[in-house]
Structure 1
Amino acid sequence: MIKEESLLKSNILWKPSEEWILNSNLTEFSKQVEFPLLPYEHFHGWSVEQPEEFWSALWDFANIIGEKGERVLLPPADGGMLGAKWFPDASLNFAENLLSGEEGSVAVIVAGEDGISRSYTWGDLRGKVARAQEGLKSLGVSSGDRVAGVVTNGLEALVALLATTSLGAVWTSCSPDFGSQGIVDRIGQVKPKVLIVSLDYQYNGKFFDIRENIKAVCKVLEGVSAIVTLTEEVDGSIKHANKVLSWEELCQEGPTVPEYTRVPFDHPLYILYTSGTTGLPKAIVHSVGGTLIKHLNEHQLHCDVKPGDVMYWYTNTAWMMYPWLVSGLASGAAILLYDGSPLRKDHIGILWEIAEKVGVTHFGTSPKYLETLQKASYSIGQEHNLPHLRSVLSCGAPLSAEQYDWVYDHIKKDIMLASISGGTEIIGCFVMGSPVHPVRRGEITCKALGMAVDILDENGISVHNQKGDLVCTKPFPSMPLTFWGVDGDTRYEFAYFADRPGIWTHGDLAEQTAEHSLIIYGRADTTLNPGGVRIGTAEIYRVVEQIPEIEDSLVFGLPNDGDEEIVLCIVTKDGKLDDILADSIRKNVRKKASPRHVPRRIYCVKEVPYTINGKKVEGAARSAILGQTIKNKGSLNNPECLQDYNSLSERSYL
């Protein structure tokens, strides 16, 4: 390690030791392919310029179970990205790759607000999957059928997912805290054959009965042949024209080892949903092989996950980080499934208490969660002994430079902090961390291997040290197969290739630095343009949310005489906003960002609208203040708060 003083001078907060680098999976992989790992930019260049070599070598390195075949990539005839065929001769099964761990080793740890429930070995897990598989087969589920879960993040959901995919069927899920319309808007699109449901759940010490929601869903879903309830006995209140049975009845008998139906590489595996508020959520179909190999790339090469590690990410079953976590099993790691509030009202550090007890090595979270701990002055490193922790990962929003400082000051000095960014659309990342790079304050470490990431300006020119659109210029295996439903291919192409034909434009405003690290400034569709200058909302959040009096904030732009003015809505601890606080906000923004970032209007609101997956929804607030219709409110965790925004234009501001 180099001295802390020199790290600070170079804006580097952590640097891996020679031993760390030498023992990393990434170093081992570079030896296998006989290509020098450093400089990384050359190694990354090889991975995108020679995709057949890279992805084929990764298949071998990760010991993917299945037949690889001779061919790796059939590129599109037009030289673009759409229509690429990966491993066209391959045959594999997703669940088979996730269930290959040693019989007596721990595979899954289940926990909730009361602490750790119990752990399960790979042998236990295989047995449970085998029985659930037999139950699904008895209900007529076979390759290509959809099985949907409205389920909590517990063992049953995991077993159902693995049993479904073991048959070559397709898994899709929602979290039980969605309203009935939100559930129907998602899984109703894909017409599942079997629906698996939680009828109740607990969150932050409160009990929630969702039987009425489930009844409403069951009335309108088409094509469901059976409903499985996660209760000990069949609940008589759930009526359906076909079969209703309990989870115990589904899994009451069967073999101890699952059978695996091997399918082509591009066979559908998951259907995930975007959480936007403009029309129905897009139902994105992901492939078996693309998902598996992309996650193995990210886990093993970028996150340095190894057999025996313990992975955790705070997520519900609706967010893409749920399948991302589940794939950790394919690398021989145990996964921690936590169901409940991450900030239990009487114990703000419940997640870290559990992480300490089970020896979590990779802890995944969000900037909002870290910000809450920071404002509560909860010093994780002082409260908990975390000798096994090697990496903290964050996504869902940009991680501010100040939060980088806080992680190293209050969690652990010697860890790999990785802010990662990608999306539901690719079920993975464009940019992320690395076990061989230094961590630079406020910057995402590197481009993911195999991903031809670039930042382009309005003229399509690659730029450094200035903001532009994050794009990907070459095919990669985890590109969606399609969007489910009518005109799915057309809608998919329009969503990501309309702006630049043949190039994936992801919709993030970003910058690549001279050190080849990256900075994400927020979604391009929420980019502010006062005076024609592009400003990412994250640039303002970074400043405002460090002010002690402010608990939360939301930034968006409003039209004003042919230009745009910046509107800032804040949630304060005492529910008040005065001239002193408004003046302090503007001075801080002007000093730490620029005069162009200073908000024209500042309002005090009760809440900030969030999606159920925990993302701020600037567009919904903007639509509310403009009196526009807000579609797909089922995506919001707290849609009622938008009533406050409806009247903002009539209120005075500071």
Structure 2
Amino acid sequence: MEQQRVIDANVLWEPSKEWVASSNLKRFAEQVGVSLYPYEQLHQWSVKNPAAFWSGVWDFAGIIGEKGKTVFVPAEDGGMLGASWFPDARLNLAENLLSGNEEQTVVYEANEEGVSRSVTKGELRALVAKAQKGLQELGVQAGDRVAGVTTNSVESLVALLATASLGAVWSSCSPDFGAKGIIDRIGQVQPKVLIASLDYYYNRKFFDIRENITAVCDELDTVKAVVTLGDATGYAVDGTTNLLSWQALTDHAVEEPIFTRVPFDSPLYILYTSGTTGLPKAIVHSVGGTLLQHVKEHQLHCDLKAGDVLFWYTNTAWMMYPWLVSGLASDAGILLYDGSPVRKDRIGVLWDIADEVGVTHFGTSPKYLAALQKCGYQVGANHDLSALRSVLSCGAPLVEEQYDWIYEQIKDDILLASISGGTEIIGCFVMGSPIHPVIRGEIACKALGMAVDILDENDDSVVGEKGDLVCTKPFPSMPITFWGEGGDERYFNAYFAARSDIWTHGDLAKQTIDGSIVIYGRTDTTLNPGGVRIGTAEIYRVVEQVEEIKDSIVFGFPVENDEEIVLCVVTEDGYLRDEIADRIRNDVRKKASPRHVPRRIFVVKDVPYTINNKKVEGAVRAAVRGEVVKNKDSLANPECLEEYTLLGERSYQ
């Protein structure tokens, strides 16, 4: 029976009966024999019957491999750590991503100038076969690490898939990391082969990173070969390291790759946290857990179907890169974009490309959407977007006003999904779905198979109150470990030390009586004036609507056993008039609460972001307090922190 909903002015979109009837989620519910409505009942079934649910996902997605008879083996103590999934299974990620219609165009490569290349699945298989042969000749085999410092290109994708085809482990950084940032990451995992871009373009500027790559090679004793992407004329490394071009690596007369099937829990990816509070955590993810989590999210929650085109604006360092790559497993195409998302002379470059290749699922961040909104860019009026069915957003909470803007200025008949999870699970805890309404400011539902809850300080489940976002039961994409000495202990301390046998994710959130979720920010940056927990997102959602404010960052400053809320803003002219400061405080008081009102407001030149485009409140707080900001190499603009160290000497409004 279809779920009945009360008419609500905050409901911006509801799927039509036709949309629901044709959804993957409806077909899945029919396959497993569980009613589609109410969704909460389907979700409860998925977490109470993990073997039936995840086995159903395997079958629904048509996973290629040997499934085995056993799906789930609980931990001896019944907790989250120690459980195992598909212990008899054997599979290969690349085999699943490269199967299907050889004539279908499945990869589009684009940059700031537009679409530069398209590749069919047959062509992609051949490219992977050649790179696989080259890696084999360099001695790469199952379990070895191959590292990439690469742009988001076809060659990077081929290198990843060739690595995975051998049962080896892929780990990558973006070229805009400094040498120390790269070493702090891939230096931990001792790669056998390094695949490196020697230069790149961003915002129409050329960046030569040969010195960085040389410095990395000098530090990494385990690297036996460096494969260069692009023109390597005149480039050299020390005499003990084999240097070859991409052309040399792939110069082989083979057309079909051979796939090494490995156990379900074999390592596939090593991803890194942003590392702004210390050395980045090297998180090891499994072949089976990654693939199963991604096809579930793509097909059941995002309604990705064969022939669709998935895009996410990402670099190769962020978890959304492997998430995007996995779109190939659903017989969809993917768009790889490298460069700035906005050119001053071509603000809508991403939408131009989306039109050209027929993007159906457009993935981005609140910051990008806010930039379009601030400059008054009318996406829907300037672009066709007839193929577009969904806009997806992550990296920070999507504020209510952005929900309105998307439906007003992009397209009024799309599934908008703010999604949230993390590098730690290479996936999502909460998502949208093709059967839920879109309610402004809310994330539609808990992801299937994920036992998500909100707990207060007494570890009681709460509804309508802020608390810690947790997960109470095991799931396949839990990390294998953290790479390196003491990895299991560091993994436990990161997510299980706060609550025994409960994954505490580090987000401040609220669940509504309807099962939707609101996320207020990270708990490590939660404000606590007068003992009341306030998420930074609650203040950003107000400040970002002030036209004169280009960007902002908020943090707590300790004062006499309490703390004051400090707001730093970026303006066009570097000044903040008194009436604008008053308007900010009045708006925050009205739209949030009196406790949210910033005590001090400073004008700054820039706001620090990680290279993966996330605001770094913790680094600002440390700089203002005169503390050491650890691992500045994780920041895209660390130089801006110098200004924050002097805030205590400045007047404020």
Q: Which amino acid aligns with 2:497?
A: A
Does the aligned pair in 1 maintain the 2:374–2:547 contact within 8 Å?
yes
Q: Which amino acid aligns with 1:460?
A: D
Aligned to 2:63: 64
Q: Distance in 2 between matches of 1:321 and 1:585?
A: 34
Q: Distance in 1 between matches of 2:405 and 2:279?
A: 38
Q: Distance in 2 between matches of 1:303 and 1:239?
A: 47
Residue 514 of structure 1: CA displacement? Answer: 1.2
Residue 215 of structure 1: CA displacement? Answer: 1.0
Q: Which amino acid aligns with 1:490?
A: E
Residues 458-477 of structure 1 mapped to structure 2, 5 A cutoff: 458-477=457-476
Q: Distance in 2 between matches of 1:235 and 1:519?
A: 54
Residues 233-312 of structure 1 mapped to structure 2, 5 A cutoff: 233=232, 235-312=234-311
Residue 235 of structure 1: CA displacement? Answer: 4.2
Q: Distance in 2 between matches of 1:400 and 1:580?
A: 24
Aligned to 1:549: 548
Does the aligned pair in 1 maintain the 2:394–2:418 contact within 8 Å?
yes
Aligned to 2:382: 383
Q: Which digits, 9 at most, give the CA deviation of each residue in 1:89-147, with x for residues without a partner? A: 00000100000021110110011111001210000000000000000000000000000
Aligned to 1:3: none
* Worse-superposed segment, 584-593 or 480-489: 584-593
Aligned to 2:114: 115
Residue 237 of structure 1: CA displacement? Answer: 3.5
Q: Distance in 2 between matches of 1:111 and 1:352?
A: 12
Does the aligned pair in 1 maintain the 2:199–2:230 contact within 8 Å?
no
Q: Distance in 1 between matches of 2:127 and 2:586?
A: 59
Aligned to 1:318: 317
Q: Distance in 2 between matches of 1:41 and 1:182?
A: 43
Residue 231 of structure 1: CA displacement? Answer: 2.4
Residue 241 of structure 1: CA displacement? Answer: 1.6
Does the aligned pair in 1 maintain the 2:198–2:232 contact within 8 Å?
no
Does the aligned pair in 1 maintain the 2:193–2:226 contact within 8 Å?
yes
Identify if the C-alpha distance between structure 1 residues 384 and 240 changes in structure 2 by more than 3 Å, giving closer, same or farther.
Answer: farther
Identify if the C-alpha distance between structure 1 residues 235 and 452 changes in structure 2 by more than 3 Å, giving closer, same or farther.
Answer: farther
Q: Distance in 1 between matches of 2:100 and 2:391?
A: 24
Aligned to 1:194: 193
Q: Which digits, 9 at most, give the CA deviation of each residue in 1:217-259, with x for residues without a partner? A: 1111120000000025564334352200000000011410100
Q: Distance in 1 between matches of 2:567 and 2:258?
A: 56
Residue 7 of structure 1: CA displacement? Answer: 9.1
Residue 423 of structure 1: CA displacement? Answer: 0.1
Residue 172 of structure 1: CA displacement? Answer: 0.2
Identify if the C-alpha distance between structure 1 residues 605 and 8 changes in structure 2 by more than 3 Å, giving closer, same or farther.
Answer: farther
Q: Which digits, 9 at most, give the CA deviation of each residue in 1:327-356, with x for residues without a partner? A: 000000000000100001210100000001
* Worse-superposed segment, 609-618 or 572-581: 572-581
SS at the partner of 1:188?
A: helix
Identify if the C-alpha distance between structure 1 residues 576 and 240 changes in structure 2 by more than 3 Å, giving closer, same or farther.
Answer: farther
Q: Distance in 1 between matches of 2:577 and 2:343?
A: 32
Q: Which digits, 9 at most, give the CA deviation of each residue in 1:293-318, with x for residues without a partner? A: 00000000000000000000000000
Please say if 1:443 is aligned against 2:442. Answer: yes
Q: Which digits, 9 at most, give the CA deviation of each residue in 1:595-617, with x for residues without a partner? A: 00000110000000000000000
Q: Which digits, 9 at most, give the CA deviation of each residue in 1:398-442, with x for residues without a partner? A: 000000000000000000000000000000000000000100010
Q: Which amino acid aligns with 1:388?
A: A
Residues 233-632 of structure 1 mapped to structure 2, 5 A cutoff: 233=232, 235-632=234-631
SS at the partner of 2:126?
A: helix
Identity %: 69
Identify if the C-alpha distance between structure 1 residues 379 and 182 changes in structure 2 by more than 3 Å, giving closer, same or farther.
Answer: same
SS at the partner of 2:612?
A: coil
Segments of structure 2 that go 5 or more residues without pairing to the other structure are: none
Aligned to 2:38: 39
Residue 395 of structure 1: CA displacement? Answer: 0.0
Q: Which digits, 9 at most, give the CA deviation of each residue in 1:481-520, with x for residues without a partner? A: 0000000000000000000010000000000001110000
Q: Which amino acid aligns with 2:405?
A: W
Q: Which amino acid aligns with 1:212?
A: E
Residue 584 of structure 1: CA displacement? Answer: 1.1
Residues 204-223 of structure 1 mapped to structure 2, 5 A cutoff: 204-223=203-222
Does the aligned pair in 2 maintain the 1:7–1:14 contact within 8 Å?
no
Segments of structure 1 that go 5 or more residues without pairing to the other structure are: 1-5
Does the aligned pair in 1 maintain the 2:236–2:243 contact within 8 Å?
no
Residue 79 of structure 1: CA displacement? Answer: 1.2
Q: Which digits, 9 at most, give the CA deviation of each residue in 1:522-556, with x for residues without a partner? A: 00000000000000000000000100000000000
Residue 84 of structure 1: CA displacement? Answer: 1.0
Q: Distance in 2 between matches of 1:617 and 1:535?
A: 17
Aligned to 1:227: 226
Q: Which digits, 9 at most, give the CA deviation of each residue in 1:343-391, with x for residues without a partner? A: 0121010000000111100000000000000011001000000111000
Aligned to 1:13: 12
Q: Distance in 2 between matches of 1:228 and 1:179?
A: 19
In the alignment of these two chains, the number of paired residues is: 649
Residue 618 of structure 1: CA displacement? Answer: 0.3
Aligned to 1:91: 90
Q: Which digits, 9 at most, give the CA deviation of each residue in 1:58-91, with x for residues without a partner? A: 1001000000000011111111101111000000
Q: Distance in 1 between matches of 2:17 and 2:464?
A: 30
Q: Which digits, 9 at most, give the CA deviation of each residue in 1:268-294, with x for residues without a partner? A: 000000003111000000000000000
Does the aligned pair in 2 maintain the 1:366–1:397 contact within 8 Å?
yes
Q: Which amino acid aligns with 1:525?
A: D
SS at the partner of 1:213?
A: helix
Q: Distance in 2 between matches of 1:452 and 1:195?
A: 38
Aligned to 1:164: 163
Q: Which amino acid aligns with 1:160?
A: A
Q: Which digits, 9 at most, give the CA deviation of each residue in 1:25-56, with x for residues without a partner? A: 00000111111010000000000000000000
SS at the partner of 1:165?
A: helix
Q: Distance in 2 between matches of 1:204 and 1:155?
A: 20
SS at the partner of 2:538?
A: helix
Q: Distance in 2 between matches of 1:69 and 1:374?
A: 51
**Aligned Cα root-mean-square deviation (Å):** 1.0
Q: Distance in 1 between matches of 2:343 and 2:246?
A: 28
Q: Which amino acid aligns with 2:224?
A: S
Please say if 1:30 is aligned against 2:24. Answer: no
Q: TM-score, normalised by structure 1?
A: 0.98
Residue 574 of structure 1: CA displacement? Answer: 1.0
Identify if the C-alpha distance between structure 1 residues 83 and 622 changes in structure 2 by more than 3 Å, giving closer, same or farther.
Answer: same
Does the aligned pair in 2 maintain the 1:232–1:247 contact within 8 Å?
no
Q: Which amino acid aligns with 1:241?
A: T
Q: Distance in 2 between matches of 1:190 and 1:103?
A: 35
Does the aligned pair in 1 maintain the 2:98–2:328 contact within 8 Å?
yes
Does the aligned pair in 2 maintain the 1:26–1:300 contact within 8 Å?
yes
Does the aligned pair in 2 maintain the 1:200–1:208 contact within 8 Å?
yes
Residue 582 of structure 1: CA displacement? Answer: 1.2
SS at the partner of 1:109?
A: strand
Q: Distance in 1 between matches of 2:159 and 2:6?
A: 47
Q: TM-score, normalised by structure 2?
A: 0.99
Q: Distance in 2 between matches of 1:166 and 1:371?
A: 39
Q: Distance in 2 between matches of 1:210 and 1:8?
A: 56
Q: Which amino acid aligns with 1:587?
A: N
Does the aligned pair in 2 maintain the 1:218–1:240 contact within 8 Å?
no
SS at the partner of 1:189?
A: helix
Does the aligned pair in 1 maintain the 2:306–2:330 contact within 8 Å?
yes
Q: Distance in 2 between matches of 1:232 and 1:553?
A: 40
